[in-house]
Structure 1
Amino acid sequence: MQKTIYQLFQFLKTVRAAIVFLWHRMVALRLPQVAGSLSYTTVLSMVPLLVIVLSILTVLPQFQGFQKEIQDFMTENLMPAKMSKTVMQQITIFTQRSAGLSLIGGAFLIFSSLTTMAIIDRAFDDIWQVKKRVSFRANVAIYWAVLTLGPFVFGGALLLINWLVHSLKAFVFLSSFLGVVLPFILSTVTFAALYVFVPNRRVHWNDALVGGAIAAIIFSILTHSFSAVFKSFSGYAVLYGAFSIIPAFFLWLYVFWWGVLFGAGITANLPILKYERWRKETRVGYRLSEALMVLYQLYLMRKSPARMMAWDALQAKMKMNSEELGFIIEHLQKFNWIAKVQRADGGYGWALIADTDEVSLADVYDAFVFDTRYYSDQAMQHNLPWAKYLAQLQNTPAHDVRLSELFSASS
């Protein structure tokens, strides 16, 4: 009995520590400030973005009159009915007027939409702490593919949900159940896809689905909360009339983006919780140890028939999140010690390409801890008394050992 109580106490203690760690990480991400910035951007570019999406959806006969399905989905899952109706009415008017746009106006519409996606992309890169950003020009094709193909995938999913719900009308309980569950699943998968494909970092679907489900739950709670607030403060709408929707919509946009970013933050930090990296006490030089472990794993794989290691396998072996492993990989690539190579099945893996007889422990030490060559040269140029001692660090017997000798002694 005492053992069970002790284990329960330790479990609760671990959960508390994990929640505190996650809270500090969320605070560091500055979600409220980023959500405010994205809300402002969305206000300026939402009309161009939705005009393009609705215009694409209404190209095919199957999607004619699709605005009603979108409005129903928004009402039930994203925003209150009154707000959804007003917003969709205005967007429909803008969509009808977009046919009269000039070539320059149409180009500006597309450019505004692409710029919005680039800003969202940058916000996600900040959450995943991506250091090496992809240029806007390189991502234009991806943004355009999302703008053109995304609406069809989303629209097809909505049509499938409506078809299933209407086909099962005879089964009242099942129809009602699917009417609640399927939109939630669609929201979860949509947010998960956002977390997988937008960041310039490898994200596992399992982690993304957890973050997507949390974001979908947040929106479900917020939608009902907003509806209750609107009903409680009906005098506000009487006083301001049609203008009352404007501040409410701004507030909803802010909360919307906060929920999206919160789900992204959960997704980005799940590997840290999963591999218990948050328990790790950071010590000086820990990057050196991790870099040697990565090199050692790839050294072992070089002796195998595959001769390379997939990212997922390397991450599972190292028990590192994408952010930390990405830093090590990028740094090792910079020195041409490892390379990304294509597998026979078309996928990609990582391989050790360095000559381990040429690379020494001192080289890896200089790359990840302290560049003794550079700082000893600097000390010599300024005639500092410790210059010769820094130079001698590079030639110590332990540092001069080659990776081939180091790894063969371990294997």
Structure 2
Amino acid sequence: MSSPTITRLQNYLRHTYGFLQQVGRGFIEDGCQSTAAALTYQTLFAVVPGLTVMYAIFNIFNSFQAFGDVSGRVESFLFSNIIPENVSVVQEYLRDFSTQAQNLSVPSLILVAVTTILMLFTIERTFNEIWRVREPRQGFQRFLMYWAVLSLTPLFLFMGFAITTYILSLPLITGVADATTALRFVPVILSAIMFTLIYKAVPNCSVAFRHAAVGGVLVAIAFEMAKWMFGYVMSRSSFQVIYGAFAAVPLFLLWIYISWTIVLVGAELVKGLGIYRSFAAEQLEAPLVQILALLELFHQAHQTGAVVKEEDIQQLGHKIALEDWNDYRQWLMSLDLIRSVDRGGLVLTRDLSDLTIWDLYTELPWPMPRNVINQQGWEGVLAGKIDAVTEHDQSLLNTDIESLFQSRVAEVSLKPAFVRSS
């Protein structure tokens, strides 16, 4: 290979390794391991009411003869492609539990449904923490998202299977040997679409569809590979000998934990696609300077009557830490400097001629930067002002600590001594 090709390959491998490092670091820093364990515990209680809703929706379609028993086939298809063979016996238990749940009284159903809502709360909170979003959805918007997850997921699976069944029943398709083979890709395609929608819709921030789609496809493939590997390893283990008939329960819990781990890794991957910078080694400015760079963008957009989109923020990746953008946005909105608009995007809401650098600094939680890296344009002017402030502050604090303590003692020496109570 030529030298330029080798250089490009080395750069690609270096950036890929850096990206994977960022995903792994985010997975650990965001506590995704403990979150996966918590979701495993909540899923154990939420799976029954979730299946109850799914069966209720399926029963609606069963009332139409045109659909036949497609819902029963969807159920078998769902369990056979989501749960490994080693724990497929759980399907019978879950079906019995959900059937009994349909006979519960209204208060009992509400209590059971709360477990599903709590799991959805945990999922939303986890995704928002991964994307550094401090404010979850509120009110009716939140309710609509939860209801969509509970109702549209089984409906989506049903329609996907119904369409596949219809296509395979066509005269041109019937009898074709490759038709059965094509069915093997259906669960991967459905999973990819479902994960894409989850990564796009659940975080309370803008997620690029292409990033969500890449994450959805990779997670769907990883899910299928994990299912095959899990079944392969468990079939050669001694779980059945140790636990006997009870073996399905720990295996089922282990599989749920693995599944949630894959989902959360996918979330970190989708977030990483939006914030990873190939020039990550380049040093960024302090938070105050980054926020000023954001305000410059909003000021320029305000002068032309434009709206700042997420795509515009991404273009500032060389000036701001994109992983901190959601934090910066929340602070700017809390200070009434920007706001969202109905058509999407953000706009400036305050005259910046009435806002001083000191006013902005005192409202933000970050310290005064010690220096400014970029010495061009307004950044160079800011650097001079910060240097002057630093020199002045240093002269005021150019007192040794012992002298400080002595001055404090001198101030309180006239006060009565503190007497310890007996």
TM-score for the superposition, normalised by structure 1: 0.79
1:276 aligns with 2:314: no
For structure 2, the residue ranges without an aligned partner over 5 or more in a row are 370-388, 397-422
In structure 1, the residue matched to 2:311 is 313
> What residue ranges of structure 1 are gaps of 5+ in the alignment?
373-385, 394-411
The answer (yes or no) to whether the contact 2:27–2:268 under 8 Å persists in 1 is yes
Are 1:37 and 2:19 matched, yes or no?
no
Q: Is the 8 A contact 1:308 1:352 kept in 2?
A: no
Q: Distance in 2 between matches of 1:256 and 1:136?
A: 30
Residue number in structure 2 paired with 1:400: none
State the partner residue of 1:8: 9
Aligned residues: 367
Matches within 5 A, 1:233-382: 233=237, 236-237=239-240, 240-273=243-276, 275-276=277-278, 278-283=280-285, 285=286, 287-304=287-304, 307-319=305-317, 323-342=323-342, 347-368=343-364, 369-370=366-367
Relative to structure 1, is the Cα distance of residues 223 and 321 closer, same or farther in structure 2, using a 3 angstrom cutoff?
A: farther
Q: Are the counterparts in 2 of residues 55 and 95 from structure 1 also a CA contact under 8 Å?
A: no
Q: CA deviation at 1:42?
A: 0.9
> C-alpha separation between the residues in 1 aligned to 2:348 and 2:211?
29
Q: Which amino acid counterpart does residue 51 of structure 1 have in structure 2?
A: T
- Once the two structures are superposed, residues 98-147 of structure 1 have per-residue CA deviations (whole angstroms, 9 ceiling, x without a partner) of 33211211211222221221122112222222222346887234312331
Secondary structure of the equivalent of 2:341?
Answer: strand
1:68 aligns with 2:66: no
Do the aligned partners of 1:161 and 1:183 also contact (CA within 8 Å) in 2?
Answer: no
Separation (CA, whole Å) in 2 of partners of 1:115 and 1:136? 16
Q: Equivalents in 1 of 2:183, 2:321: separation in Å?
A: 37
What are the within-5 Å matches in structure 2 for residues 91-110 of structure 1? 91-110=94-113
Aligned 8 A contact 1:127 1:268 in 2? yes
Partner of 1:396: none
CA 1:149–1:178: 2 relative to 1, 3 Å: same
1:165 Cα shift? 3.6
Q: Point out the structure with max Rg over C-alpha.
A: 2
User: Alignment partner of 1:278: what SS?
Assistant: coil
State how far apart, in whole Å, the 2-side matches of 1:370 and 1:223 are. 49
Rounded Cα–Cα distance in structure 2 between residues aligned with 1:281 and 1:25: 19
Is the CA contact (8 Å cut-off) linking 2:48 and 2:94 kept in structure 1? yes
C-alpha distance in structure 2 between counterparts of 1:16 and 1:96, whole Å: 49
**Pick aligned residue for 2:233 from 229, 236, 240:** 229
Q: CA deviation at 1:253?
A: 0.8
- C-alpha distance in 1 between matches for 2:322 and 2:75: 35
Please tell me whether the aligned partners of residues 314 and 322 of structure 2 are also in contact (alpha carbons under 8 angstroms): no
Which piece of structure 1 moves more, 260-269 or 331-340?
Answer: 331-340
Q: Distance in 2 between matches of 1:63 and 1:113?
A: 30
**Distance between the aligned counterparts of 1:7 and 1:149, measured in 2?**
45
Contact 2:23 2:265 in 1 (8 A): no
1:117 aligned to 2:135? no
Distance in 2, matches of 1:108 and 1:245, equals 27
Q: Which moved more, 1:325-334 or 1:131-140?
A: 131-140
Q: Within the alignment, does 1:171 sit opposite 2:215 as a pair?
A: no
Q: Return closer, same or farther for 1:9/1:94 CA change in 2, 3 Å cut-off.
A: closer
Other structure's SS at 1:66 match: helix
Q: Could you list the per-position Cα deviations for residues 169-226 of structure 1 after superposition, in whole angstroms to 9, with x for gaps in the alignment? A: 33322x2453133321111111111111112222111111111122111211121122
> 1:321–1:176: structure 2 CA closer, same or farther, 3 Å change rule?
farther
CA distance in 2, matches of 1:120, 1:63: 35
1:133 and 1:200 in contact (8 A); partners too: yes
Deviation at 1:65, TM superposition (A): 5.3
Q: How far does residue 356 in structure 1 lie from its aligned partner after superposition?
A: 2.6
Shift in Å, 1:327? 1.9
Report if the CA contact (8 A) 1:301-1:308 is conserved.
yes
Q: Percent identity?
A: 22
8 Å contact kept, 1:79–1:226 = no
Letter in 2 for 1:8: L
Counterpart in 2 of 1:159?
162
1:257 CA drift (Å): 0.8
Is this contact kept in 2: 1:21–1:278, CA < 8 A?
A: no
Closer, same or farther in 2 for the Cα pair 1:321/1:145, shift >3 Å?
farther
- Classify 1:18/1:186 alpha carbon distance in 2 versus 1 (closer, same or farther; 3 Å): same
Higher relative contact order (Cα pairs below 8 Å, separated by 6+ residues): 2
Q: Which residue pairs with 2:29 in the alignment?
A: 28
CA contact (8 A) 1:58 1:64 kept: no
C-alpha displacement of 1:38? 0.9
Cα RMSD after superposing both structures: 3.1
Look up the equivalent residue of 1:268 and give its one-letter code: K
Is the Cα contact below 8 Å between 1:114 and 1:143 reproduced in 2? yes
1:141-176 C-alpha deviation (Å, 9 max, x unpaired): 431233123321232122223333444233322x24
Residues 125 and 199, structure 1, Cα contact 8 Å, conserved in 2: yes
